[in-house]
Structure 1
Amino acid sequence: MTATERALSRRTVVGYALGSLGTGGFATLPGLVLVFYMTDTLGIGALLAGVLVTVAKIWDVIIDPVIGARSDSALRRSGSRRGFMRAGALLLPLFFVLTFAVPAGLPAATSGVWVLLAFVLTATAFSLFQVPYIALPAEIADGYDQRTRLLTWRVVVLTFSILLFGAGGPMLRNLGGDNEYLGYLLMAIVAGVVIGIGMLLASRVAPRGVVVAAPAEPSGGIRRHYAAGIAVLRRSQPFRALLATFMLQGLATGVMLAGANYVAVWVLHSEDALTLLFVALIAPALFCAPLWGVIARRIGKERGFVLASMLFGVAALALTAMLWAPGSWVYLPVALAGAGYAGMQSLPMAMLPDVISHDAATHGDGQAGTFSGVWTAGETIGMALGATALTLMLALTGYTESVGTTSVVQGEAAVAGIVLSFSVLPAALIALSLLTLRRYALRRGDIDRSDIEAEALA
Structure 2
Amino acid sequence: LAEGEAPYSTPTATLLVACSLVSWLQEKPGLPLWRKVCYAVGGIPYQMTGNAIGFFLQIFLLDVARVEPFHASLIIFLGRAWDAVTDPAIGFLVSKSPRRKYGKLVPWIACSMPFGVLCYCMMWSTLSDATPTSLKFLWYLFTYSFFQTCMTCHHVPYSSLTMFLGGTQRDRDSATAYRMGMEVFSTLLGSGIQGQIVGSYHARMMNGCYVSNETLPNTTTSLTDSLENTRRAYVFASLVLGSIYCLSCLILIFGVREQPGPLSPLGKVELPFASCLRMVVGHKPYTQLLCGFLFASLAFQITQGIFAFFCTHAAGLAGKFQHLVLIMLVTASVCVPFWQWFLGRFGKKTAVMHNFLAFVFLVIMAGCSMAVSAGTGVGATDTSVGLSVPRSMLPDTVDDFMLRNPSCLNLEALFYSFYVFFNKFAGGLAVGISTLSLHPAAVPGAPLLYLK
Structure-1-length-normalised TM-score: 0.78
Q: 2:61 aligns with which of 23, 34, 38?
A: 38
Give the superposed CA RMSD: 2.8
Alpha-carbon distance between aligned partners in 2 of 1:206 and 1:372, rounded to the nearest angstrom:
19
1:28-74 Cα deviation digits (max 9, x unpaired): 11111112111112332223211111111222122211221222233
SS at match of 1:136: helix
Counterpart position of 2:288: 241
Could you tell me which amino acid in structure 2 is paired with residue 389 of structure 1? I
Taking the TM superposition and a 5 Å limit, the aligned residue runs for 1:288-437 are 288-311=335-358, 313-322=359-368, 326-327=369-370, 329-364=371-406, 365-395=409-439, 397-399=441-443, 402=446, 405=449
Contact 1:172–1:187 at 8 Å: present in 2 too? yes
Query: SS at the partner of 2:438?
Result: helix
For 1:241-286, what per-residue CA distance to the aligned partner results, in whole angstroms no more than 9, with x for missing partners?
2122333222111111111111211122232222122122111111
Whole-angstrom distance in 2 between the partners of 1:19 and 1:356: 21
Q: SS at the partner of 1:394?
A: coil
**Counterpart-to-counterpart distance in 1, 2:121 and 2:274:** 31
Q: Which structure 1 segments of 5+ residues have no match? A: 408-458
**Partner Cα distance (2:448, 2:162) in 1:** 44
Identify if the C-alpha distance between structure 1 residues 265 and 226 changes in structure 2 by more than 3 Å, giving closer, same or farther: farther
Map 1:163-242 to 2 at 5 A.
Answer: 163-173=188-198, 177-179=226-228, 180-204=230-254, 206-208=256-258, 210=260, 212-214=264-266, 216-218=268-270, 224-225=272-273, 227-234=275-282, 236-242=283-289
Deviates more, 1:128-137 or 1:12-21: 12-21
Distance in 2 (CA, whole Å) between partners of 1:293 and 1:262 is 32
Deviation track 1:302-345 (CA, whole Å, cap 9, x = no partner) reads 4333333332x2332222432xxx12x21112111102311221
Distance 1:132 1:309, change over 3 A: farther
**Number of equivalent positions:** 396
**In structure 1, C-alpha distance between the alignment counterparts of 2:151 and 2:304, rounded to whole Å:** 19
Q: Give the Cα separation in 1 of the matches to 2:62 and 2:254.
A: 39
State the one-letter code of the partner of 1:394: L
Deviations 1:225-253 (A, max 9, x none): 3652343012x111112122333222111
Q: Return the alpha-carbon distance in structure 2 between the equivalents of residues 404 and 144 of structure 1.
A: 59
Letter in 2 for 1:35: Q
Aligned pairs (5 A) from 1:102-121? 102-105=126-129, 106-121=131-146
Residue number in structure 2 paired with 1:66: 89
1: CA distance, partners of 2:173 / 2:357 = 20
Identity of matched residues, %: 16
Q: Which moved more, 1:5-14 or 1:161-170?
A: 5-14
Q: Distance in 1 between matches of 2:336 and 2:161?
A: 20
CA contact (8 A) 2:86 2:149 kept: yes
> 1:155: which partner in 2?
180
Q: 1:81 aligns with which of 68, 92, 105?
A: 105
SS at match of 2:128: coil
2:323 match: 276
What TM-score, normalized to structure 2? 0.79
Larger-gyration structure (1/2)? 2
